[in-house]
C-alpha cells in the first residue's frame, strides 16, 4: 500500500513537472507565433486616419489603437474614419471603440471596395468634408471566395483586395500630398510568394477560376503596388509599406469554412493554438503606421514588425509599372466608346492569327476605324494593306488574309457576295458593325463555294467614337419639319443600339415629351431591345442604366455661340472632320501641315493629362481654354530650352513660337505634335483678331445669359455696323437676338434684318434667321431655355508672357447641363421627360447615355466631361446624329424647315450568326 502510494506520488510529481514544461513551451510557442509588437508611443493628435474594413478583425484592432493614441487631458487623439461595407456593423464597432478609448472622433463612412462607384463616392465625400489625411490603411479583403464578378465586371477577389484599394489610394493622393509627411499601408499576405500577375487574363475570363491562384495574384499586386507607389511619390513625402499580418483568427476565412467545413473543423483546435489573435495580427499594421524613422524603408515589405524580403516577383520594377498602367486602363474601360470600338478592332485582327493581312472596309467603317487607330498602329498588327470593298481595281493577293469590317447594308452584302465568288485573298474573316439578317448570312454562305470564309461575326461598332464620352453617327438633315426623314430613323436606331451593345447596357429609356421625334426613336430602340433580347441580356446592376433622348430644337442657342475651349474652337473656326483639319488655305502653311489630325488617342499633347491619372479630377488640353493651350505650348518649349547649352530664345508671341520650331529641328523631331499645335493655335489667333471674335463673343454671351434688352440691341447694332465683323458672325448675332427677345414688346428684329441687308448679307442667310425661330423658337421649345441671370460681364484675361492668345471664360452653360443636373438629383420632371413603359428609376442614375437628335456640340461634350469629373458614381456618355459647329447647325436648320435636304442616308439590317 505504501509502495503503491509512493509510486503514485512520483507519477503525480512527474506529471506536474512535465506539465509545467509543456505550459512553458506552449507560452513560448504562442509568443513566437504572435510575432513582434508595436511599442511606439507616438501620438496622433490632430491626424486623420482611414482604415478600410475596420469593423472587425485586425481592422477593428488597428482602429482602436489609432483612436487612443494621444488621448490625454489636453489632447483629442486621432480622427479615425472607418471605411466599411456593412454600415450597421461598422456603427456598432465604432461605438465600442469610442467607449473603450474615450475618443468620440471615430466616424463611419460607407465603402464597398467591390464597387468603383462606391469608391469614387467615398472619396468625393471625404475630400469635401475633411481637410487632411495622414495615414491610409488599406486593410479590407476577402479570401478564397467563390468565383463571381463585381458590378464593374472584375473578378471579386482581385477587385476587393487590390483594384478597389488602388483606385481609392490614387484618388486620395492629392490630399495625402497636402498632408505630408503621410503614409499608405497595404495589408498583403505571405501568400503573395506563390503569386503571379496574369496580365492576359486578370479576371479569369479565359481560364478556369482557381480561388487560391486569384488570392495570391491579388496579394502580389498589393506588394507591387506598394513598390510602384513609393517610387512615384518619392519627392512628395508620401511613403508606402506592404505587410503580412500573420495567420489570424478572423472572418477573412469565412469562405474556406463554408466551402470546406470538414477541413475547417479538423483545423479548429490547432488554429486556436497556432493562429494569432486579431490584436496580435494588427501589430505590424500599427507599426508601419506610426513608427518613427521608417521613411527610408518606403516601398518595403514587413512581417512581425520587421522588414522582410518579399518574393523575387514582388521586386520586379517592370512588372510593378506594367501593373499600374494595366489597372489605369482597366479603370477607364467602362462607358468609354473609344475603347469599346478599339477593343472590337483589336479582336478582329487578333482572331485572324499571325500572318500578313488586308483590312477590307466600306466608307463608313473606314471612318470608324480611323478615329481609334492610326495607320502605323494597325501596321504593327501585321495589317499591311487597307482597301475599300467597293473598289473595282483591287489586285488578287492570295498570300494575304482578309479582315472584312462592314456595315450590314444591302450594297455591302452584295459587294461581299461578288468578292466571295471570285476571292482575291486566301481566307476571309467577316465582321459586321451591326445586326445582319439570317437571309443575308445564307446568301453569303451560298456564295462561298470555294470555302474561304473562316468566320462571320457581329461586332457592334456602328458609330463614330469621337472622345471617350462622345460619339456621333455622322448624319445630317435627319428631319423634315418636326418628323423623321423616313430613311434616317432606322439608321439612327441601328447606331444608337450599337452604342448600347458596345457598352453592354440594357437601359431604361426617357425621352423629351415635346419632341415627337424623340418619342419615335425611343419606341424604335425599345422595339430592337425587345426583339433582340438575347443580345441585351447583360449582367444586372443594382441601378439600371438610363438612355435619355433629347431634341436639338430645345436648345438652338448653344450651337450658335462662338467657342473658347480648344477642341470646340478648332471645330467652330477650322472645322473638324473625323478629327482632321484642312489647313491648306492658311497663309504660308508648310506643305507637311496642310492637313493635320487632332486625336486624343494618338496625340500626347492634345490629350495631355494634367493630373496624375484620368480617374476623378483631370483637365485635358482639348478642354482647356484658348490661352491656357498657348501657355502649355510655351512651357514645353521653355523646358526644352533649359536642356540646351546655347542662349535661350524669347517666347512672347505665336510668331516667336513658329520661329522657335524652325530654329530647333530637334525639338520638332522630339515633339512633332507640338509644332502642329503651334500652327493650329497660330491660325486660331489670326482668325480671332481678324474677325473681332472677342468683341463678338462678349455680345453673344450677353444675349445668351443676361436680360437687358436696351443694352443688347445697342451692342448688336454697333457690331453689325462694323465692317470687320464677318457675315456669319453678324447673322448669328441677329439669330441669338431673335431667339432671346422673340416676344419682347420692343423687339427690333425687322430693323436688324434690314441692317443685314444694308451690309450686303445674302438673302439665304437673312432667311435663315426666321428658319432658326421656326426650328427652335418659344413655340417649339419644351423647356425654358433662357433663365435671366445677373452674371458678371464676360471675363477676359491676357497672359503677360504670351501675346495674341487670350484666355476667355464664358458665362453660358448649355441647357443640357441643367437637364443632367436635375436628372442626377432625381428632380427631372416625368411630365416633361417621361419613361417609356411602366418602370422608373427609384435611385440616382449611375450610367447615363444621352442622345441628341439633330446633333450635339463640343460645348455639351465639355459639360459631360466636367460632370464625369465632379460627380463620383455617375458616368455619362453623350452622342448625337452629328457634332455641330455653327455652319453645320444652320444647314441642319435649313434642311429641317424645308429650304433644302441633305444628309448621309443609310439602310438598315436584321439578324445574326455569332455575336459579341
Strands 470-472 and 875-880: parallel
SS3 589: coil
- What is the C-alpha to C-alpha distance for residues 381 and 604, in angstroms, rounded to an integer? 21
C-alpha cell at 912: 445574326
List of residues 6+ apart from 681 with CB closer than 8 A:
626, 629, 630, 633, 654, 805
Angle of helix 337-351 relative to helix 488-503, nearest 10 degrees, comes to 80
215 in active site: yes
**Nearest CA-CA partner of 842 in 575, 474, 398, 542:** 542
Q: Cell 439578317 maps to which residue?
A: 437
Instruction: Write out the three cell numbers for 548.
Output: 435619355
Crossing angle of helices 749-759 and 727-740, in 10° steps, is: 170
Task: Kindly report the number of other CB atoms within 10 A of residue 136's CB atom.
Answer: 28
Q: What is residue 510's three-state secondary structure?
A: strand
CA distances from 819 to 49, 549, 705, 780, 872 (A): 38, 11, 17, 17, 18
CA dist 238 and 299 (Å) reads 11
Q: Cα separation of 349 and 342, whole Å?
A: 11
Cα 568 from Cα 562, distance rounded (Å): 9
For 483, the grid coordinates are 418628323
Grid cell, residue 757, equals 441687308
Q: Which of 448, 391, 399, 460 is nearest to 422 (CA)?
A: 448
* The residue to which cell 456564295 is assigned: 447
CA dihedral (366, 369, 374, 375) positive or negative = negative
Three cell numbers, residue 33: 507565433
* Paired residues of 138 in beta bridges: 186
**What residue has cell string 461586332?**
459
- Cα distance between residue 79 and residue 195, in whole Å: 36
**Packing angle between helix 317-331 and helix 211-232, nearest 10 degrees?**
100
Q: Residue 295 in contact with residue 267, Cβ under 8 Å?
A: no
Please report, for the chain, how many H helices and E strands are present, in that order.
34, 28
Contact partners, residue 905, CB within 8 Å, separation at least 6: 475, 485, 487, 488, 491
Q: Which position among 2, 39, 209, 215 bears the catalytic label?
A: 215
- H or E, element range at 608: none
First to last CA, the chain: 91
- 378 — phi, psi (to 5°)? -65, -40
Q: Are residues 245 and 282 in contact, defined by beta-carbon separation less than 8 angstroms?
A: yes
Residues 6 or more apart from 620 whose CB is under 8 A from it? 600, 606, 607, 608, 609, 610, 614, 865
**Which pairs from 873-876 meet CB under 8 Å and 24+ separation?**
873/117, 873/118, 873/120, 873/121, 873/124, 873/844, 873/846, 874/824, 874/844, 874/845, 874/846, 874/848, 875/334, 875/335, 875/846, 875/847, 875/848, 876/335, 876/469, 876/820, 876/848, 876/849, 876/850
Distance CA 215, CA 192 (A): 8
Residue 480 is placed in which grid cell?
423634315
Residues acting as catalytic residues:
215
Amino acid at each position: 500500500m505504501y509502495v503503491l502510494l509512493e509510486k503514485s506520488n512520483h507519477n503525480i510529481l512527474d506529471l506536474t513537472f512535465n506539465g509545467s514544461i509543456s505550459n512553458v513551451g506552449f507560452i513560448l510557442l504562442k509568443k513566437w507565433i504572435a510575432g513582434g509588437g508595436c511599442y511606439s508611443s507616438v501620438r496622433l493628435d490632430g491626424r486623420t486616419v482611414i482604415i478600410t474594413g475596420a469593423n472587425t478583425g485586425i481592422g477593428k484592432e488597428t482602429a482602436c489603437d489609432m483612436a487612443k493614441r494621444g488621448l490625454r487631458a489636453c489632447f483629442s487623439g486621432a480622427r479615425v474614419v472607418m471605411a466599411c461595407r456593412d454600415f450597421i456593423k461598422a456603427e456598432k464597432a465604432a461605438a465600442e471603440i469610442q467607449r473603450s478609448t474615450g475618443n468620440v472622433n471615430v466616424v463611419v463612412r460607407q465603402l464597398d471596395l467591390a464597387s468603383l462607384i462606391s469608391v469614387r463616392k467615398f472619396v468625393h465625400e471625404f475630400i469635401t468634408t475633411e481637410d487632411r489625411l495622414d495615414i491610409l490603411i488599406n486593410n479590407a479583403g476577402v479570401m478564397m471566395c467563390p468565383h463571381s464578378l463585381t458590378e464593374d465586371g472584375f473578378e471579386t477577389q482581385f477587385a476587393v483586395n487590390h483594384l478597389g484599394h488602388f483606385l481609392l489610394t490614387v484618388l486620395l493622393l492629392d490630399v495625402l500630398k497636402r498632408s505630408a509627411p503621410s503614409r499608405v499601408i497595404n495589408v498583403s499576405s505571405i501568400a503573395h510568394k506563390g503569386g503571379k500577375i496574369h496580365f492576359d487574363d486578370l479576371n479569369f475570363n479565359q481560364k478556369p477560376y482557381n480561388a487560391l491562384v486569384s488570392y495570391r495574384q491579388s496579394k502580389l499586386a498589393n506588394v507591387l503596388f506598394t513598390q510602384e507607389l513609393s517610387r512615384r511619390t518619392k519627392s512628395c513625402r508620401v511613403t508606402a509599406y506592404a505587410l503580412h499580418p500573420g495567420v489570424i483568427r478572423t472572418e477573412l476565412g469565412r469562405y474556406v469554412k463554408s466551402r470546406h467545413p470538414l477541413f475547417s473543423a479538423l483545423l479548429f483546435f490547432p488554429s486556436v493554438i497556432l493562429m494569432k489573435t486579431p490584436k496580435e495580427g494588427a501589430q505590424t499594421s500599427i507599426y508601419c503606421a506610426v513608427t518613427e524613422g521608417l521613411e527610408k524603408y518606403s516601398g518595403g515589405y514587413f512581417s512581425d514588425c520587421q522588414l522582410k524580403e518579399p518574393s523575387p516577383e514582388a521586386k520586379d520594377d517592370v512588372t510593378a509599372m506594367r501593373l499600374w498602367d494595366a489597372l489605369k486602363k482597366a479603370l477607364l474601360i467602362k462607358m468609354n466608346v473609344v475603347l469599346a470600338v478599339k477593343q472590337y478592332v483589336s479582336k478582329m485582327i487578333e482572331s485572324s492569327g499571325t500572318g500578313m493581312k488586308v483590312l477590307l472596309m466600306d466608307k463608313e467603317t473606314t471612318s470608324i476605324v480611323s478615329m481609334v487607330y492610326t495607320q502605323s498602329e494597325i501596321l504593327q498588327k501585321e495589317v499591311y494593306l487597307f482597301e475599300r470593298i467597293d473598289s473595282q481595281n483591287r489586285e488578287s493577293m492570295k498570300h494575304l488574309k482578309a479582315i472584312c469590317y462592314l456595315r450590314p447594308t444591302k450594297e455591302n452584302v452584295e459587294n461581299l457576295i461578288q468578292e466571295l465568288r471570285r476571292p482575291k485573298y486566301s481566307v476571309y474573316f467577316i465582321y459586321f458593325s451591326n445586326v445582319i439578317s439570317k437571309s443575308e448570312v445564307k446568301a453569303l454562305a451560298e456564295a462561298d463555294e470555294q470555302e474561304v470564309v473562316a468566320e462571320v461575326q457581329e461586332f457592334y461598332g456602328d458609330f463614330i467614337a469621337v472622345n471617350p464620352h462622345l460619339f456621333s453617327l455622322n448624319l445630317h438633315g435627319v428631319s423634315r419639319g418636326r418628323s423623321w426623314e423616313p430613311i434616317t430613323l432606322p439608321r439612327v436606331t441601328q447606331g444608337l443600339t450599337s452604342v448600347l451593345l458596345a457598352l453592354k447596357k440594357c437601359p431604361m429609356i426617357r425621352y423629351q415629351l415635346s419632341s415627337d421625334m424623340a418619342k419615335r426613336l425611343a419606341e424604335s430602340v425599345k422595339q430592337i431591345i425587345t426583339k433582340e433580347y438575347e443580345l441585351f441580356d447583360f449582367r444586372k446592376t443594382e441601378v439600371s442604366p438610363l438612355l435619355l433622348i433629347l431634341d436639338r430644337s430645345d436648345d438652338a442657342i448653344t450651337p450658335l455661340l462662338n467657342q473658347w475651349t480648344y477642341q470646340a474652337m478648332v471645330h467652330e473656326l477650322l472645322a473638324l472632320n473625323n478629327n482632321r483639319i484642312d489647313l491648306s488655305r492658311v497663309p504660308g502653311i508648310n506643305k507637311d501641315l496642310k492637313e493635320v489630325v487632332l486625336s486624343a488617342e494618338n496625340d500626347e499633347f492634345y490629350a495631355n493629362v494634367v493630373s496624375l491619372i484620368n480617374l476623378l479630377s483631370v483637365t485635358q488640353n482639348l478642354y482647356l481654354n484658348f490661352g491656357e493651350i498657348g501657355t502649355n505650348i510655351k512651357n514645353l518649349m521653355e523646358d526644352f530650352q533649359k536642356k540646351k547649352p546655347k542662349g535661350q530664345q524669347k517666347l512672347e508671341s505665336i510668331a516667336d513660337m513658329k520661329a522657335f520650331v524652325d530654329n530647333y529641328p530637334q525639338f520638332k523631331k522630339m515633339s512633332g505634335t507640338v509644332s502642329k499645335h503651334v500652327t493650329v493655335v497660330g491660325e486660331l489667333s489670326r482668325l480671332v483678331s481678324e474677325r473681332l471674335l472677342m468683341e463678338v463673343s462678349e455680345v453673344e454671351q450677353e444675349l445668351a445669359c443676361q436680360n437687358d434688352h436696351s443694352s443688347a440691341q445697342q451692342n448688336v447694332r454697333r457690331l453689325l455696323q462694323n465692317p470687320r465683323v464677318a457675315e456669319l458672325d453678324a447673322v448669328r448675332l441677329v439669330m441669338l437676338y431673335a431667339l432671346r427677345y422673340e416676344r419682347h414688346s420692343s423687339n427690333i428684329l425687322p430693323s436688324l434684318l434690314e441692317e443685314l441687308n444694308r451690309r450686303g448679307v445674302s438673302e439665304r442667310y437673312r432667311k435663315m434667321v426666321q428658319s432658326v425661330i421656326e426650328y427652335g423658337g418659344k413655340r417649339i421649345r419644351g423647356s425654358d431655355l433662357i433663365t435671366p441671370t445677373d452674371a458678371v460681364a464676360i471675363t477676359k484675361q491676357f497672359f503677360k508672357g504670351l501675346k495674341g492668345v487670350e484666355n476667355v471664360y464664358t458665362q453660358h452653360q448649355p441647357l443640357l447641363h441643367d437637364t443632367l443636373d436635375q436628372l442626377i438629383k432625381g428632380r427631372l420632371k416625368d411630365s416633361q421627360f417621361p419613361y417609356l413603359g411602366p418602370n422608373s428609376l427609384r435611385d440616382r442614375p449611375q450610367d447615363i447615355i444621352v442622345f441628341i437628335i439633330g446633333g450635339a456640340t463640343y460645348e455639351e461634350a465639355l459639360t459631360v466631361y466636367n460632370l464625369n469629373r465632379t460627380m463620383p458614381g455617375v458616368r455619362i456618355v453623350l452622342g448625337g446624329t452629328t457634332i455641330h459647329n455653327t455652319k453645320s447647325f444652320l444647314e441642319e436648320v435649313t434642311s429641317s424647315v424645308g429650304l433644302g435636304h441633305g444628309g448621309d442616308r443609310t439602310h438598315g439590317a436584321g439578324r445574326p450568326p455569332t455575336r459579341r
